Amino acid sequence: MVTDSGTRVSTIMRIIHDLSLRQGWSKANPLSDYRQLLQALIDRFGLPRNYLAKDAVKDKIKHGFIIQHDVDINIVSAIKMAELESEMGIKATYYILHNSLYYCFWSGTRAFRHNAMASMYRYIQDLGHEIGIHIDPLDIIQARNMDGLQAMETELQWMRDNGLNVVSMMSHNSWRAYGGNN
């Protein structure tokens, strides 16, 4: 993987991957199964019948498919999926969760972003995928006693300032805020 930040992305990916193995996060679905699913979609709809979320709405698409990934926990798995999709000529939308452990850590009402992660998000975008923000404003209101809308605007601006062309969002609905996950 070549990025504007050299080996930083590879180092971060290795650290997160090692953590995910210890936590058992990457055992759910092998990448080979995902490859088979993507091939079935290609066989059914063909290419370029695959659209990004922003284009499907704008162009009033009636037939085809949209792939979206809510990146809640494992950014390394997301990158591997993004690489596979790119290799197969498929586009997807990746929703980055602004209050996830890979994105930031909190101290009271202050979020400290892992700024090096921006290069990982840009890498996914550079593969031809869309980056969106996976919003969780109610959790910010309840857990941090902060203005949820202002927090979303701040994160959106940070993403855009870091070279991400964010034009879509998807609600997260965290357990803490709603008593269940999406």
Within 8 A by CB and 6+ apart from 172, the residues are: 70, 72, 97, 134, 135, 136, 139, 182
What is the tens place of the pLDDT at every residue in 113-149?
A: 888 889 999 999 999 999 999 887 777 777 777 777 8
What does pLDDT average to over the chain?
77
CB atoms within 10 A of CB 121: 23
What is the tens place of the pLDDT at every residue in 17-42?
A: 555 555 554 555 678 888 888 888 88
Residue 122 CA to residue 146 CA, distance in Å, equals 28
What are the boundaries of each domain within the chain? Answer: 8-178
CATH 3.40.50 fits 8-178, yes or no: no
Q: How far is CA 84 from the centre of its chain?
A: 15
Structure tokens at 99: 């209050």
The pTM score is 0.76
